[in-house]
Amino acid sequence: MILCSNPKAQYLAHQAGIDAAIQRVLQSGYYVLGTEVKAFESEFAAYATSKHCIGVGSGTDALHVAIRALGIGPGDEVITTAHTAVATVSAIELAGATPVFADIDPKYFTLDPALVERAISPATKAIIAVHLYGQPVDLRAFSELARRRGLKLIEDCAQAHGALHQGRQVGSVGDIAAFSCYPTKNLGAIGDGGMIVTNDDALATRCRLLREYGWAERYVSHISGFNSRLDELQAAILRVKLPALDADNQKRRDIAARYDAELRSLPIELPSRRPETEHVFHLYVLRAQNRDRLQEHLKAAGVGALIHYPVPIHLQKAYLGKVRGGESLPETERAAREVLSLPMYPELSEAEVGSVIQALRSFAWP
């Protein structure tokens, strides 16, 4: 089976460096918020062209801490998309705030700024703009909207490490940004991990307090916080992988270009690239009218295509009828019926890519 993503292949590609990094941490005797975390935070901040990086336990925690650091909580609303991993909405709820949904742009699958503006209410405090599948949102439009309406802009970069908007790294444009290092991500750990980046000194200080019980000095809490710390092992592994991120993203773009060239004659809609951006293809997502039959055909042919995401958040049992804006999201619901993610990771061989293409071509297209 050709997997849709393959974290083990990423480990094997960097095995010597990762094994050495793990041994370095094990021999150090220091396993939480030590020198590896500090070094990785400095290195990732430089990569992301941001002043500060704060390592936390997961991408969900990164969003949660970012929301809390902005002072957003009970009684406040945060507008986001229902076409995303549920973690985006979970983080809003963890902060005690209320999620509100707006529909997506059908061409790029990301939040539509005009529809976000219609969803703004007196309780709205922030927008979480999700750079979905590796495709940046229209940051120029969202930055202008947030400035004009007095809102905070949070970038959810969980799927977009290294993506660019008008030459700028995603995560460096909004007030604050969250990254996930779940193993399947473009920059993945071997376990959970996440980062917050910001250019705001006060926000960075508050994030560091929040992630560890509000401690400014050990055992003394200055604010109410909790425990969400990136551990030394994951930081050391991420330090090995970070220098290869741009090259790995280029491999993803090369695979995407081959899919584009060899699938364009089929009756499917291939991924679009937003102008003035650089897509990093965390996922290669197409649209097909007969998606479910196509997925079954690919599975029988040994191709592990997946659906990201099969049930929009506003239609899931936990949120059905409970979130403002969920009453009318036609493009979100259409995407859930039509999207299919093809195998996409840097270690895919040319032969494997060819097998995926051949499996698609052999489907009994109507």
pLDDT in tens, 124-163: 999 999 999 999 999 999 999 999 999 999 999 999 999 9
Query: pLDDT above 90 covers what percent of the chain?
Result: 99
How many other C-beta atoms can be found within 10 angstroms of the C-beta atom of residue 38? 14
Mean pLDDT of the chain: 97
Query: Does 43 score more than 90 pLDDT?
Result: yes
Measured between its terminal Cα atoms, the distance across the chain in Å is: 26
Contact, 225 vs 214, CB < 8 A? yes
Amino acid, single-letter form, for residue 87: A
Going 294 to 298 to 300 to 306, the CA torsion angle's sign is negative
Q: How far from chain centre, in Å, is Cα 170? A: 11
Positive or negative, the CA dihedral 103, 316, 337, 253 is positive
Of the candidates 235, 173, 225, 170, the one whose C-alpha atom is nearest the C-alpha of residue 199 is: 173
CA distance 305 to 320: 27
CA dihedral (197, 198, 201, 207) positive or negative: negative
Mean pLDDT across 284-288: 98
| pLDDT of 298 strictly over 90 | yes
Structural domains of the chain, with CATH: 7-101+109-243 (3.40.640.10), 245-361 (3.90.1150.10)
Pairing between strand 52-56 and 194-198? antiparallel
Angstrom distance (rounded) from CA 139 to CA 306: 28
Residue 100 structure tokens: 């509100």
Q: Report whether 62 contacts 179 (CB < 8 A).
A: yes
DSSP state of 111: B
- Residue 169: which residues within 8 A CB-CB, separation 6 or more? 47, 48, 49, 50, 162, 163
pLDDT value of position 148? 98
Tokens, residue 364 = 């009994």
Q: Per residue in 85-122, is it b (16+ CB within 10 Å) or e — as a string?
A: bebbbbbbbbbebbbbbbbbbbebbbbbbebbbebbee
Return the number of other C-beta atoms located less than 10 Å from residue 232's C-beta.
Answer: 25
Per residue in 230-285, pLDDT tens?
999 999 999 999 999 999 999 999 999 999 999 999 999 999 999 999 999 999 99
Dist. CA 239–CA 1, nearest whole Å:
30
Q: What is the Cα–Cα distance from 242 to 44, expressed in whole angstroms?
A: 8
pTM, two decimals, is 0.98
pLDDT of residue 177 exceeding 90, the answer is yes
Q: pLDDT tens for residues 342-364?
A: 999 999 999 999 999 999 999 99
39's tokens: 């070094």
Burial of 317 (0-12, 13-18, 19+ CB in 10 A): exposed
Q: What is the pLDDT of residue 366?
A: 85
